[in-house]
Structure 1
């Protein structure tokens, strides 16, 4: 699967940490990695939801899972999470920095300091904190733990908003732009250790955030929004299912991407290519 001299994150029989893993893209990613043979750590600020997701993934795939409640915007919490991972698994092969939050859309002239502090803490510093405390577990630098043998993969989840301007989304999109920039620099920093670092920028994705509470209606809603329509977003004229983003993360995390590092993979149905479809807002459809 790998080329000459390749170093990459292992999926089969590896250990993957997925932040924001209790629902949406994170849950789909954790499940997809487990389906390919990874043991998975589901990290989320929603502790009970993380437990539920981890138990379901373990039951469906037969892989070992661990749920950890953690606010990635707080370094002490991330450090404690990393210690739990080290105690349980000894090392890490894959880190998916998916955890992120939104704040009410506003131009910068109306955004307050508290909302800036919170979104920067989770969306930007959270990525850095998780990398700081988990990359050493990939490279054997995790103290008493053995760690992985110098092979690892980090996938940071950014957004199409890092590529295309949108009115009133300066706070969210600027943090995702920072994630893309950080990805390139992290790739430079950790290549000598055998760690690849890439980003994925999703477009419109239908998750629980958008769906009605009723499960049957939610299924119908997801099918409707992921089916191409005349007024749908981007080139493909539809939204994505979370699993489609998870498949892209899986590729970058796996040995199949052994010569890919420092890149940002746009998985947005062509929105950033043509810059159309911004009127589509599933949150308003409710």
Structure 2
């Protein structure tokens, strides 16, 4: 499906360590490899997120706060903000065709990055990108999450095959619903990321059936040693099975592109 307007995807879970950032990164890489759309991934974690590290290594790049500050300065000067793609791209990192908006690495500064800042970043990125993927923080109460949910077309909730992670994923869906975003839960995708090759004590078929009672789509991502190490992701070193699972996820999301109202 073609993208009729910027499509906004939020990847979240109220539990850390389940593969949320890996999913955000791999989804962005998958879209950039298989579609001609302009894609960007945004690290909205207020606690020194690692998205940029996973995609770019330890390279020092501007952060999403730098992008927002530049936008606000430009608005004060010309009333319109950053006008063209080159002005916006200078505040982003790049891997292949995928652009990356890094989070603050200072915890004190990161905490101050809230709903208004995130909404401003979204407004800027919508000018030049077709697909915007947000790697959100783990909490539901910080103000950046309010901005994330308000600017989301499709929600991805990430779980791991562990009882605590399963409960937290279900709780995430409950929290999103309770905050007034029942439509996001109705169309949500649950991604089960295998953090071990041989999970013990979990019936994966029953787990998938459980989540399908809560939302329509479930994707199981097989264990991948390259991703599990936590280092910089080299897409070509990811196993074919894992790349295929993320391609399935991208296809599920792309099916919704054509149902968006232009300009909404």
- The TM-score, its normalising length taken from structure 2, stands at 0.48
Structure with greater contact order relative to length (CA < 8 Å, sep ≥ 6)? 2
- The TM-score, its normalising length taken from structure 1, stands at 0.45
